[in-house]
Amino acid sequence: MVKKILIAFFCMGAHGLFAQNATISPYSYFGIGDLRDNGSVENQMMGGVSMYGDSIHINLSNPAAYSKLKLTAYTAGISRTEYRLKDWSTQQNTSVTNLDYLAIGFPVAKNMGMGFGIMPLSSVGYNLRDETTNEQGTNVINVYNGEGGLNRIFASIGYEPIKNLSLGITANFNFGTLEYQRVQSVEGVQFGTLDNRESRVNGYDFNYALNYTPTIKDKYTLYASVLVNTQGNLVSTNSQTLGSFSLSTGSNIEVIDVDLDATNLRNTELKIPTRTTVGLGLGEDRKWFLGGEYSFQQFSDFENRFLGLSNVSYNNASTMAFGGYWIPNYGALTGYFKRVTYRAGLRYDRTGLEVNNKEINNFGITFGLGLPLSGATLDTFFSNLNLGFELGRRGTTDANLIEESYLKINVGISLNDRWFRKTKIN
């Protein structure tokens, strides 16, 4: 029954994943859009720390953790983000709801597990209005709109060849469409101009992971990990149209296709630089865990030639994350909240994005609960519902930019089942 429910949910959710408008951030205008969290709710609520893995949950960020799986696990996550956007003079509140991931993982042999799923990689969604005065003192209005994003299909495998040492690899196929539009009108001019651009993007990348989890004093576990997300070599097939339209009726007057072959912009490369993450933590199994990670990425090598923006540059990016969990009494027979998993963490991202000579950084505080879903059989006893919250701030109001304050609410479900069971006949 669990498998039938999850397969149906996967089909419906996958359709929604491709259709969603997943962000309203003005910073999604740059790069390949707003990069999405690639971890499960459990990991996100520990500040995004990804080194921890156990036998009943899927760790979407760390393929080596699949080697720990003892039961088949189905997981799905959704989120709702409430934004407050402000500049030096105005403020606006808005929100967006997203499907974050759908995945399945299962053991295939002793100390070996694998999984696959789908999730968004990035999202584009903005609506900006810019009013300026030209040299003749005439008012000029530019309106910028964008939508679309990239999705990711992935397959992972993890294996523990030596006790306490696990290896893993994830293969990612990324694909999607990014659409950008600029509409300009000039005071006293009857016609406006439009510039529509579209990029159809696809490409591969890989995640490699190594986890080392020795036991200390027969009670504690040391968690050490190294993750490498290889350079994403994305190919972008581009198109552009320019035209004019009537300001009074809104109808197009003339629209032409730009010859991008003449400028070598028909097909361009988007190279997402390699990202390396190192982590260290300590914990007591089924009681508590605390860890920290540091990620770095030479994002200064990135460029998007097709957009050709003059007010943006890219610097090297890094992330610091800390987090953990605590379970009062995992095996308690009475007192439901004694078996609840309490998670918390914090993170600081230097995104590498610089607009108008100002760095766009992000700080977030996370916390959440893992609520057990008691079942009648062993297969479903370990299932749980995960609730998470993140409070954060990104950007600045300096240099005519926008500061984003946000509250993100996550809901994730993790269900368990047994596959590859041999039928017993009494």
From residue 43, give the alpha-carbon distance in Å to each of 166, 274, 281, 360: 19, 21, 14, 24
Alpha carbon 384 to its chain's center: 22
Instruction: Tell me what pLDDT residue 20 has.
Output: 52
- DSSP string covering 176-232, please? EEEEEEEEEEETT-SEEEEEEEEEEEEEEEEEEEEEE--EETTTEEEEEEEEEE--E
At 18 the pLDDT is 47
Q: How far is CA 37 from CA 45, 154, 280, in A?
A: 11, 15, 20
Cα 32 to Cα 236: distance, rounded to the nearest angstrom: 10
Domain spans, the chain: 2-417
> Residue 377 has what pLDDT?
44
For 390, other C-beta atoms within 10 Å of its C-beta total 24
Among candidates 132, 99, 135, 129, which has minimal Cα distance to 117? Answer: 99
Q: Under 8 Å CB-to-CB from 400, ≥6 apart: which residues?
A: 87, 88, 356
pLDDT by 10-residue block (mean), the chain, 426 residues: 48 49 85 90 96 93 96 94 90 91 95 96 90 84 93 97 97 96 90 94 97 94 97 95 88 91 95 96 96 96 87 94 96 88 97 94 97 62 89 93 95 80 48
Identify the pLDDT of residue 409.
97
Q: Give 349's strand partners.
A: 319, 362
CATH of domain 2-417: 2.40.160.60
pLDDT at 137: 80
Q: What is residue 215's predicted lDDT score, i.e. its pLDDT?
A: 95
Q: 10 Å Cβ neighbour count for 132?
A: 9
The model's pTM = 0.89
